[in-house]
């Protein structure tokens, strides 16, 4: 075995919590694995795993070596996977979950273009707003729009979505333009959600957060439905720019309190923690980053 094989073997020992399981994974004798571990410790002049009777614990140096070994092994396997058979790595399934309204309105073109570029990739796109279990449901990626992502989720921010307050010209003509945040409480407010009481978060000029609590005149979990309601003059709506931008540009909706800051949500590309990105996944990730950047630049 060479140095790379030794590092890969050590990583397997740590990940399988023992020499026996690592030997089974590699289909070699337990004694051979034990001997290679001993030689590795001799090379580095330090104990990597404390394996006294009744004790099996990775030492501090062993943990550091494992962390670095995993990166090296992953990089080498990626290179081997990508270049051993380039064509073969562009053949196979790719399953993703995308928010329904954002996906259909702003990613459809990029998704179709990706499929046209790589026709042998079996692309499955699930337009759904629910939170999917990436590992159990066998999704390669999920794209989600959120103010933040839990630290225990492997995610990359690939875009942004800004919220806007707006209403139809007819509604504002009949009910007046609110001059400040407090004044919007005198209006019919259309809310994305299902709660009887709702709150919208804003940032004041001094950077402090301000919450407006209210009872919605209309609730819905569909941004497109709320957009239609606003266009019909039912009230003031708060929606992300990818839903209302076109209506504002055409004059069908008018921005309300345009100088008031609202939180910017991130567009996140998520994958399972234990999932190693293959070439198909990396190509998809790069194209989605480009598409989200183009979309944000084109929006209000």
pLDDT of 64 strictly over 80: yes
CATH number, domain of 22, equals 1.10.10.10
Same-domain pairing of 28 and 167? no
84, 107, 141 — which closes off a domain?
84
Phi (first) and psi of residue 72, to 5 degrees: -65, -45
236, 253 Cβ separation under 8 angstroms: no
Tens digits of per-residue pLDDT, 183-232?
A: 999 999 999 988 889 989 887 656 678 888 999 999 998 999 999 999 99
| Segments forming the whole domain that contains residue 203 | 162-264
Same-domain pairing of 141 and 276? yes
Distance CA 275, CA 142 (A): 13
Across residues 124-149, what is the average pLDDT?
A: 86
What distance lies between CA 78 and its chain's CA centroid? 22
Which residue from 287, 283, 282, 288 is spatially nearest to 268, judged by alpha carbons?
288
pLDDT of 98 strictly over 90: yes
36, 65, 84 — which closes off a domain?
84
Same-domain pairing of 130 and 64? no
- pTM for the whole thing? 0.65
Q: Which pLDDT score is estimated for 206?
A: 62
Q: Which pLDDT score is estimated for 132?
A: 83
28, 55, 84 — which closes off a domain?
84
Across residues 83-102, what is the average pLDDT?
A: 76
Same-domain pairing of 77 and 96? no
89, 278 Cβ separation under 8 angstroms: yes
Q: Which pLDDT score is estimated for 82?
A: 61
Q: How many domains does the chain have?
A: 3
Same-domain pairing of 150 and 280? yes
Same-domain pairing of 278 and 252? no
Across residues 92-103, what is the average pLDDT?
A: 90
């Amino acid at each position: 075995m060479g140095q790379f094989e030794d590092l890969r073997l050590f990583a397997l020992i740590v990940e399988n919590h023992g020499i026996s399981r690592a030997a089974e994974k590699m289909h070699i004798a337990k004694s051979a694995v034990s001997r290679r571990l001993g030689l590795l410790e001799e090379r580095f002049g330090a104990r990597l795993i404390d394996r006294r009777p009744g004790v099996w614990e990775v030492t501090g140096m062993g943990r550091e070596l494992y962390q670095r070994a995993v990166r090296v092994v992953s990089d080498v396997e990626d290179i081997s996977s990508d270049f051993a058979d380039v064509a073969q790595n562009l053949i196979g399934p790719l399953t993703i979950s995308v928010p329904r309204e954002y996906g259909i309105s702003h990613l459809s073109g990029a998704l179709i273009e990706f499929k046209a570029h790589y026709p042998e990739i079996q692309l499955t796109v699930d337009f759904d707003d629910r939170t999917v279990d990436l590992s159990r449901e066998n999704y390669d990626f999920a794209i989600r729009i959120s103010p933040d992502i839990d630290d225990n989720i492997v995610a990359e921010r690939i875009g942004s979505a800004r919220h806007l307050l707006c209403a139809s010209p007819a509604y504002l003509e009949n009910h007046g333009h609110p001059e400040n945040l407090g004044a919007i409480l005198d209006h019919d407010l259309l809310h994305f959600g299902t709660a009887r009481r709702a709150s919208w978060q804003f940032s004041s000029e001094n950077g402090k957060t301000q919450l407006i609590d209210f009872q919605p005149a209309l609730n819905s979990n569909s941004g497109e439905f709320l957009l239609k309601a606003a266009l019909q003059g039912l009230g003031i709506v708060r929606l992300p720019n990818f839903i209302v931008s076109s209506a504002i540009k055409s004059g069908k909706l008018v921005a309300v309190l345009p100088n008031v800051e609202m939180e910017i949500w991130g567009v996140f590309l998520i994958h399972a923690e234990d999932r190693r990105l293959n070439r198909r996944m990396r190509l998809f990730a790069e194209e989605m980053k480009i598409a989200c950047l183009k979309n944000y630049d084109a929006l209000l």
